[in-house]
Amino acid sequence: MTSRGLMTGRFQPFHSGHLALAKQILEECDELIIVIGSAQFNFIDKDPFTAGERALMIHEALKEAKVNLSKCYIIPVANDENNARWIAYLRSIAPPFDVLYSGNDFVKHLALSQDRNITVKSPRFAKEEEYNGTNIRRLMLAGGQWKRLVPPAVAKVLEQVNGIKRMRVLAGSNSNPQRW
């Protein structure tokens, strides 16, 4: 039987910590499911990139790292506002999975309270303070050293979509829904 590990995130952007987790999962499971959460959000401060752009970042980073893409699923998922049915919602959208990887205590609680057949594992986090989307977006806006925190393929995608300019426009825009 094929074991599948699932990781979730907004991946705004996909960074080297995410890549390390993907590799960890593939060391422990036969296949990897990457769920792009909050897929409906884009072009806002907290979520500047589209689900399609995030899927491209992930695909290109995995390919660059020579990860066997035939063992990977990348699935954008819109948020479900009802936390009580979160695991059932994931199970209806993603291929069957055995293990959920999360360092978030709330996610762990939801998973274990909703599905007794699931195994929840905490990832080995590398440089958690540096490798997080909020920090990377802040560095991007400030002209800081963000490229060292993402795989080169992700930096290339961000340049192709003019991500820094978009983020600067969003940060200064009165039309940004998060500023209303």
Q: Which fold has domain 4-173?
A: Rossmann fold (3.40.50)
Mind giving me the DSSP string for 21-79?
HHHHHHHHSSEEEEEE-STT--SSSS--S-HHHHHHHHHHHHHHTT--GGGEEEEE---
Exposure of 79 by Cβ count < 10 A (0-12 exposed, 13-18 middle, 19+ buried)?
Answer: middle
Q: What DSSP character marks residue 96? A: P
Domain regions of the chain by residue span? 4-173
| Mean pLDDT, contiguous 10-residue spans, the chain (180 residues) | 92 96 96 97 96 98 98 96 90 95 89 89 76 93 95 98 95 60
Name the CA dihedral angle for 142, 62, 89, 135, rounded to a multiple of 10 degrees.
-20
Residue 89 has a pLDDT of 93
Q: What is the CA radius of gyration of the chain?
A: 16
Residue 117 has a pLDDT of 86
Name the CA dihedral angle for 143, 145, 147, 150, rounded to a multiple of 10 degrees.
-120
Interatomic CA distance for residues 32 and 2, integer angstroms: 11
Residue 155 has a pLDDT of 98
Residue 136 has a pLDDT of 95
Residue 126 has a pLDDT of 66
Interatomic CA distance for residues 180 and 174, integer angstroms: 8
Helix axes 163-172, 133-142, angle to 10 degrees: 90
SS3 100: strand
Residue 179 has a pLDDT of 47
SS3 95: coil
